[in-house]
A and B are shown apart, each in its own frame.
Chain A
Amino acid sequence: ETGVTQTPRHLVMGMTNKKSLKCEQHLGHNAMYWYKQSAKKPLELMFVYNFKEQTENNSVPSRFSPECPNSSHLFLHLHTLQPEDSALYLCASSQAPLSSYEQYFGPGTRLTVT
């Protein structure tokens, strides 16, 4: 238990569906992250939020839309995904703003796009 929770843990969706992934951290951190981990590939950073402001968008397609309503919650809204978007989506948090603070990861959401 890292103090970062993600729901749902597993999600199967069609290409025309709209769904959202939720992340919550109970660590009092001010930075939150979305990562994508495809099969046999390294983790890829998608988005970074510092103090609820998006500070990084790592060339992510617009069919992925993040939302950070407060420092404890982070969402990833999904729409019109492609089968190649099937992956493990990981949320993480850390103290801000120094980048030297370690990141704490949630268990991930295993997404399958059919």
Chain B
Amino acid sequence: DAKTTQPTSMDCAEGRAANLPCNHSTISGNEYVYWYRQIHSQGPQYIIHGLKNNETNEMASLIITEDRKSSTLILPHATLRDTAVYYCIVRPQTYNNNDMRFGAGTRLTVKP
């Protein structure tokens, strides 16, 4: 069973904010929301993660709704190099359970 649902693809204009949604309506209380991205033919790259508070780092911001059933990854000023597949993953914080399940993700295309 897929734990997250994401749009298959999105476009964004260069310099604009890219807002990538993710639904995780069955998320459990101990599950974190993670975002990774994969630029073509490269390994996935960690972006950000959070539990219930909004988070921000040098790459992006993560907005999690109060009921935690959905989240949005925000790239504030998208560049052409942000074109990639973006994965939203939910996983619990447990000891020695490193299972991380990738779905199909959202293919973001940043256009000039």
A16 interface residue, CB < 8 Å from B?
Answer: no
Main DSSP-derived SS at the B contact region: loop
Residue of A nearest to B46 (CB): A102
A83, chain B: closest CB distance, angstroms: 20
Q: Is the CB of B42 within 8 A of A108?
A: yes
A residues near B99, Cβ cutoff 8 Å: 45, 48, 56, 99
Q: Is the CB of B96 within 8 A of A96?
A: yes
Counted as pairs of residues, one from A and one from B, with CB atoms less than 8 Å apart, the total is 68
A82, chain B: closest CB distance, angstroms: 23
Main DSSP-derived SS at the A contact region: strand
Residue of A nearest to B34 (CB): A102
Q: Is the CB of B42 within 8 A of A43?
A: no
Q: Which residues of B contact A (CB under 8 A)?
A: 32, 34, 41-46, 49, 91-105
9 contacts between A and B (CB under 8 A): A42-B103, A48-B99, A98-B93, A98-B94, A99-B93, A100-B32, A107-B42, A108-B41, A108-B43
